[in-house]
Amino acid sequence: MSAPEADLAGWTAAPFTGGGYTHDVYRKGEGPGVVLIPEIPGIHPGVLALGNHLVDNGFTVAIPSLFGEPGRAATAGYAVSTIARACVAREFAAFATNKNRPVSQFLRALARNLNASTPGKGVGVIGQCFTGGFALAAAVDDSVLAPVLSQPSLPIPLTPAQRRDPGVSRLELDVVADRAANDGLCAMGLRFSEDKLSPGERFATIKERLGDAFEVIEIPSGTGNEHGFSKMAHSVLTDEVREIEGHPAYEARKRVVEFLTARLAAS
């Protein structure tokens, strides 16, 4: 069995401008809003399948096209060329620590816009891989009630400081921590245990600041793990999902839906 995939059928695209940037945003569904930020190399069939799954569970989903060609299948060459371009883009500041990334302003504006056109008092945001930490940065805005960080990989973890860095600036993390302590904000983080692109030190930093408000799901991917995950396993909610009861990535995806449903319904 392979990971779920889908195409662009039923998705409508329109340009959206916020924070000085303009990107096409693909939208589908009804109900509370969720901003689904794609992983490298872009809005590939696995990301679209995740979007459809969220739509089927009662959400309005908005997927910003930050890089890549929407609908194009993910291949190794395509991923390498996309990440090479993304790593030098000022918008993403791929290597910087303690950084307020410019793309965060765009995503906060998108979250506010989605919130204004969907039921409830707030939205969820899911970031993945290259964009994983952007979900936490978006939660600086009051419109975001349910940030989900799936294998956050920025800053690219080449040094100990980069591995510990939460992917947001200190000021942004201060705001999110204050919201967690005083406004009931909760966040979720997902990673595979051996994933060097998304180091455990990063979640430890966030956990230290958010405490019980940060729920972590870490799926074992070491040698001899029960479900045969490679030590290179990375994409929790897309590439590694097998729609089989008890499969850890499938169960993690279910937990994300439960988290979003509870947080956004409570609003």
Q: Average model confidence (pLDDT) for the chain? A: 96
Cα 132 from chain centre = 4
Residue 130: how many CB atoms within 10 A of its CB? Answer: 26
Looking at the domain assignment, is residue 158 inside a domain?
yes
Residue range 33-45: average pLDDT?
Answer: 97
Looking at the domain assignment, is residue 160 inside a domain?
yes
234 with 129: CB under 8 angstroms? yes
**In this structure, which amino acid lies at residue 97?**
T
215 with 206: CB under 8 angstroms? no
Note the maximum CA span of the chain.
48
Confidence of residue 266 (pLDDT cuts 50, 70, 90): low
As a whole number of angstroms, the distance between CA 187 and CA 82 comes to: 28
As a whole number of angstroms, the distance between CA 125 and CA 260 comes to: 9
- For 57-68, what is each residue's pLDDT tens digit? 999 999 999 999
Looking at the domain assignment, is residue 215 inside a domain?
yes
Place of tokens 């860095």: 165
pLDDT score of 12: 98
pTM of the model: 0.96
Looking at the domain assignment, is residue 87 inside a domain?
yes
Sheet with 12-18, strands from edge to edge, namely 12-18, 21-28, 60-64, 33-36, 123-128, 144-150, 187-192, 214-219
Looking at the domain assignment, is residue 6 inside a domain?
no
CA angle at residue 78 from 72 to 82, to 5 degrees?
A: 100
Measured in degrees and rounded to the nearest 5, phi and psi for residue 53 equal -65, -40
- For 70-94, what is each residue's pLDDT tens digit? 999 999 999 899 988 888 888 888 8
As a whole number of angstroms, the distance between CA 231 and CA 104 comes to: 30
Confidence of residue 265 (pLDDT cuts 50, 70, 90): confident
- For 104-150, what is each residue's pLDDT tens digit? 999 999 999 999 999 988 999 999 999 999 999 999 999 999 999 99
- For 173-189, what is each residue's pLDDT tens digit? 999 999 999 999 999 99
- For 195-219, what is each residue's pLDDT tens digit? 999 999 999 999 999 999 999 999 9
**In this structure, which amino acid lies at residue 105?**
Q
As a whole number of angstroms, the distance between CA 186 and CA 139 comes to: 10
Read off the CATH number of the domain in which 254 is found.
Answer: 3.40.50.1820
Q: Is the pLDDT of residue 267 over 60?
A: no
The residue range of the domain holding 120 is 13-264
Counted domains in the chain: 1
Looking at the domain assignment, is residue 37 inside a domain?
yes
